[in-house]
């Protein structure tokens, strides 16, 4: 018997033995699972159908992935469908977004915006770039915002280091600003040398004292950095209005602790509102204090639900003078995103941006403060049509967060809160971050902004407007429940301002 024959026979014998062991181990494992499942009472399915019942949980977990890739149509998924994601992916890579054979969008759904093209659209050479918007004309350092689309609030901590680096560098290339989110000012926000909006959350991360209150000296230090252009006081965000948060102790490493100004290895609580702000006058006092310390334009971010307090805000500004007004209001829709939030709040609390934005713009216009208080709109505004609609509805500037997340590689895996983001965008695991190259992704950020500007301008020119900021409420119609459409300005005209006694209930839930 030659060597090759002996080697082959020995190999077959080894594989046969290995197979027997594997089968035996498998049988033992099944018996063990059967005994465990049939004797436990926590899961009725596994108890009644031992072993087989375990597949239910597996298939439930895998269902969202199978739906995304195999079963859901282009316009079906939530929170963002495949058509929206593909537009962003192609745009950020410099690809062609031209589509064949007709729209796949159902244009008869209630609330769908339809832009009204004019018979004689603007020639490209007749169009112009949008003029900059001035924020904080009464401050020592007013800020001019030119870009029609900017990076919305996303904290370092919720985003990974390379993700923030990519956004900072990309914002600089694109000429737009970057909002830090409430997690403090990280060096990665600054390294691209883009314009930065510093957001101050309820925990005052980055500008807090040992008791959790505002430290004026730390605020001065941050405001003195040349990249920091404005201060945004966060009252609420779309996904969880009225809800604070907790940063688990396991996530408070030395770097996070230093940036946020909190002890290493200890859980940190964010209150559900600023303790210093309990009414309209205290809100204006706090904004004025922050503005006087920072010398920068200062406004606040909120979500609309009860809205009578806006008239109270306007009344207080009239008493104090227009200089006391916030320099801007960042309005987040109830459909806004976050790494994690209670479903009860995410699904049910806060007006969507399409209800809230026209309402806010209408109230400020009616009270004569529309030119004084600028409006920044946010909340799932990730495609040109949504951004163009926001300008029709009264926005001065538009922010988006998840649009930029898609541009740097997010695949909507819905694992933001697990620290297991497969694309490295929202994880702090080095092994998962390694696939996110800030240098490459920054270029995709810039291309996304470039394509957004181009396509929004195309919509504006079709409507006869020279640029996005010339779009008005009569340039868009909204589909109604009977299938007809009504101009947005006509819908606004139908809204009757409520008397104080009609909206008083709900302004303050604790009263």
pLDDT digits (tens, 9 = 90+) for 63-75: 666 666 555 555 5
Per-residue pLDDT band for 508 (boundaries 50, 70, 90) equals very low
Peptide bond before 79: cis, by omega within 30 degrees of 0? yes
What is the C-alpha separation between 247 and 156, in angstroms, rounded? 12
Give the start-end residues of each E strand in 201-270: 228-234, 245-247, 268-270
pLDDT of residue 372: 96
User: Residue 359 above 80 pLDDT?
Assistant: yes
379-428 pLDDT tens trace:
889 899 999 999 999 999 999 988 898 898 877 777 777 777 878 888 87
pLDDT band at 5 (very low <50, low <70, confident <90, very high): low
Q: In the predicted model, is pLDDT for residue 347 greater than 70?
A: no
Region at 20 (left for phi over 0; alpha for psi -120 to 50; beta for the rest): alpha
- For residue 67, the model assigns a pLDDT of 61
Residue extents of the structural domains in the chain: 3-73, 124-142+150-244+273-503
pLDDT number for residue 511? 41
The pLDDT value given to residue 339: 61
CATH architecture of the domain with residue range 124-142+150-244+273-503? Alpha-Beta Barrel (3.20)
In the predicted structure, residue 251 carries a pLDDT above the cut 80: no
Q: Residue 78 has what pLDDT?
A: 64
pLDDT value of residue 1:
53
pLDDT digits (tens, 9 = 90+) for 190-240: 999 999 999 999 999 999 998 889 999 999 999 999 999 999 999 988 777
pTM: 0.84
- pLDDT of 274: 92
What was the pLDDT predicted at 74? 58
**Angle, CA 304 vertex, CA 300 and CA 309 arms, to 5°:** 80
Nearest to 337 by CA among 424, 269, 412, 401: 401
Q: Mean per-residue pLDDT for 441-464?
A: 93
pLDDT class for 3, splitting at 50, 70, 90? low
Residues recorded for the chain: 511
pLDDT of residue 212: 87
What pLDDT score does 502 carry? 46
Q: What is the per-residue pLDDT for 505?
A: 44
Which one, of 206, 171, 197, lies nearest residue 403 by Cα?
171
Lowest mean pLDDT among 27-31, 206-210, 466-470, 507-511: 507-511
Per-residue pLDDT tens over the stretch 292-330: 999 999 999 999 988 789 999 999 999 999 999 999 999
- pLDDT higher than 80, residue 285: yes
Strand ranges in 123-226 using DSSP code E only, listed in sequence order: 133-135, 143-145, 149-151, 177-179, 195-200
Q: Which residue has the higher pLDDT, 315 or 127?
A: 315
How much is the average pLDDT of 350-358? 89
Instruction: Tell which wins on pLDDT, 251 or 385.
Output: 385
Cα angle 185-202-283, degrees, rounded to a multiple of 5: 110
> What's the mean pLDDT when you consider all of the chain?
85
Residue 381 · residue 400 · CB < 8 Å: yes
Rounded Cα gap, residues 173 and 451, in angstroms:
14
Q: Residue 487 is inside which H or E element, if any? A: strand 485-487
pLDDT tens digits, one per residue of 460-505:
999 999 999 999 999 999 999 888 898 898 887 776 555 444 444 4
- pLDDT score recorded for residue 218: 96
Is the pLDDT confidence value at 101 over 70?
no
Report pLDDT for 63: 61
Helix, strand, or coil (residue 383)? coil
The average pLDDT across 147-176 equals: 93
Residue 475: the pLDDT is: 94
- pLDDT tens digit sequence for 116-126: 999 988 887 77
């Amino acid at each position: 018997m030659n060597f090759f024959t002996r080697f082959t026979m020995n190999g077959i014998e080894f594989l046969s033995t290995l197979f027997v062991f594997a089968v035996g181990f498998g049988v033992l494992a099944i018996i063990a699972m059967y005994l465990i499942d049939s004797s436990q009472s926590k899961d009725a399915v596994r108890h009644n159908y031992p072993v087989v019942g375990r597949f239910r949980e597996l298939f439930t977990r895998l269902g969202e992935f199978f739906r995304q890739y195999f079963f859901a149509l282009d316009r079906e998924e939530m929170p963002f469908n495949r058509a929206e994601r593909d537009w962003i992916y192609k745009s950020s890579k410099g690809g062609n977004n031209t589509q064949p054979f007709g729209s796949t969008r159902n244009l008869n759904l209630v609330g769908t915006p339809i832009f009204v093209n004019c018979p004689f659209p603007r020639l490209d050479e007749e169009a112009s770039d949008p003029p900059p918007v001035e924020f904080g004309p009464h401050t020592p350092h007013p800020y001019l915002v030119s870009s029609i689309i900017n990076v919305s609030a996303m904290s370092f901590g919720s985003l990974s280091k390379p993700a923030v680096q990519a956004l900072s560098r990309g914002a600089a290339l694109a000429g737009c600003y970057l909002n830090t989110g409430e997690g403090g000012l990280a060096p990665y926000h600054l390294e691209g040398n883009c314009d930065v909006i510093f957001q101050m959350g309820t925990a005052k991360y980055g500008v807090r004292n040992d008791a959790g209150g505002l430290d004026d000296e730390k605020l001065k230090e941050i405001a003195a950095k040349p990249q920091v252009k404005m201060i945004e006081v966060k009252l609420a965000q779309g996904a969880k209005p009225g809800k604070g948060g907790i940063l688990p102790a396991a996530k408070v490493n030395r770097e996070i602790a230093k940036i946020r100004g909190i002890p290493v290895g200890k859980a940190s609580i964010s209150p559900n509102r600023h303790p210093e702000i309990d009414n309209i006058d205290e809100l204006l006092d706090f904004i004025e204090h922050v503005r006087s310390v920072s010398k920068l334009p200062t406004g606040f971010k909120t979500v609309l639900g009860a809205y009578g307090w806006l008239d109270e805000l306007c009344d207080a500004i009239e008493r104090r003078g227009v200089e006391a007004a916030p320099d801007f209001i960042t309005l987040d829709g109830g459909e806004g995103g976050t790494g994690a939030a209670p479903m009860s709040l995410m699904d049910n609390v806060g007006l969507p941006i399409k209800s809230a934005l026209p309402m806010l713009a209408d109230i400020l216009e009616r009270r004569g403060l529309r030119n004084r208080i600028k409006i920044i709109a946010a909340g799932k505004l990730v495609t040109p049509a949504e951004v163009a609609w926001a300008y029709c509805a009264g926005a001065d500037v538009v922010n988006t967060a998840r649009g930029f997340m898609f541009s740097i590689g997010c695949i909507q895996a819905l694992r933001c809160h697990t620290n297991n983001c497969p694309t490295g965008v929202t994880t702090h695991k080095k092994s998962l971050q390694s696939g996110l190259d800030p240098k490459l992704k920054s270029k995709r950020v810039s291309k996304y902004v470039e394509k957004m500007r181009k396509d929004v301008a195309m919509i504006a020119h079709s409507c006869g407007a020279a640029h996005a900021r010339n779009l008005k409420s009569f340039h868009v119609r909204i589909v109604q429940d009977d299938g007809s459409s009504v101009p947005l300005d006509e819908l606004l005209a139908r809204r009757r301002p409520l008397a104080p006694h009609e909206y008083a209930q709900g302004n303050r839930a604790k009263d």
